[in-house]
Structure 1
């Protein structure tokens, strides 16, 4: 299953379509089923707005975090990998320093107490911090005070904006995630469920905050579609493509659910 929701558009010379998320090469060439979470942020790093792709990946033998920094034209400026399932002589806490545009940038992380709930991305008790000019320009996780102390840096003057999140999950008929469609509002619970067995025709349900917003019957005929629903007086567009999941071989059965809201411009 593939689930993605663009959260923001920008007015800084590049759009979502012109700056797609960057994926590590080893994932693209791998034949092993992998659960992944891709988050793309826009942050002010080393004097410029840049895209930061945070790629969480887990399979039967590896569990990794990849950080890929690109300019707004999509050119890769920096790429590194952190193992969340390291060998016994490696630590789940660490840091790296690198140069970007003549400026030093630091990456700090701590996964020693991280808790997971079925996703490659930790649910709690961790931090990942990117520091530029003594400022934390990207801060992930709930250990914010520990991150600031470890990095010896001030909180961001302008917080990084998450504008795309994509999740790939294998071998599940029910998928759940959380998404924030407005920076000023709370996260929403999103659940996608399907039924393909039994006497009834295939069906799919998409729920937000426990309320079924979309129910697709006769999925074998309506395997592609879109619908706009209202969430807290805000229009949310939901589209889906489950053709390959229904009609291809079991090993290659991806399907896509896409949720988005209207974007807006930002500046600094």
Structure 2
């Protein structure tokens, strides 16, 4: 992920828990979670998993930074878990149940002539889905995500994306892209929630510019709701 040094950029990481647990982010803090664990000085992180970069006039801030985060889920009420061995453990709302690493490179580029989206920095246009949008499909049903962007002072060159391994990207002219994917039983896609993230990249002379990051969720199995914990404590086996 990259941003010109003179442009404000807010990055809302995709957080999703189908059980309705509360999701938070923090910087990695030990050798199991990060390497050289000092957080990047150029960005700030909120517990709600939003990253913020503020413009800087110092060229010394330009360069690449390793972002090493941990995403954790917390119960919305105290719950009781019973293991197969018969042991019982109580988990409060301040104790995380699981955690996953989120790691990427954040690059601060030289200043752009303009920070207005749609000029040098690509701007998304309809019918591009909004960040956090959810799609519900069945197994063996193809989903097609149409992405459109514009940049009047730079040339859009590519769509950067992450998603299921067999997702296919197509382009139908500058700034027009399509992502297609068909979930299958053989890939264990059924009853799973699959994140898809994307950004559009453009160039002007030797400079590279990226749009904002957007992520969507594809839920396979047509379950159009997010489960929430019931009021009383929950016992799981």
Fold equivalence (TM over 0.5): no
Task: Indicate the structure (1 or 2) with the bigger Cα radius of gyration.
Answer: 2
- Higher helix fraction (1 or 2): 1
Task: Name the TM-score, length of structure 2 as normaliser.
Answer: 0.28
Task: Name the TM-score, length of structure 1 as normaliser.
Answer: 0.26
